[in-house]
Structure 1
């Protein structure tokens, strides 16, 4: 088997599982209790330098 075939097999099977797991991890990261301060800062950061409000 060539490198392409091995890589394609990995991407079709295990790569999808890894990417989906990483997606769930990154989407759920901001729901952790210790992330609340960072989420609040990010939520209000776009209004910090706005003088027209």
Structure 2
């Protein structure tokens, strides 16, 4: 049991940490990619769109 804990502890402290950092970096790069500017602007402005009284908005 002690050997399993030690192995998992070393794995979490090294390779898993590297994998999680890689995932974090990939998420940041995906969010700031050049093609996402229009999507972010649309999402930011979506709360200011008004809906028609009958429920049919400009979807």
Q: TM-score, normalised by structure 1?
A: 0.62
More helix by share: 1
RMSD: 1.8
Please identify the structure whose Cα radius of gyration is greater.
2
Q: Which sections of structure 2, spanning at least 5 residues, go unmatched?
A: 51-59
Q: Distance in 2 between matches of 1:35 and 1:48?
A: 20
Q: TM-score, normalised by structure 2?
A: 0.58
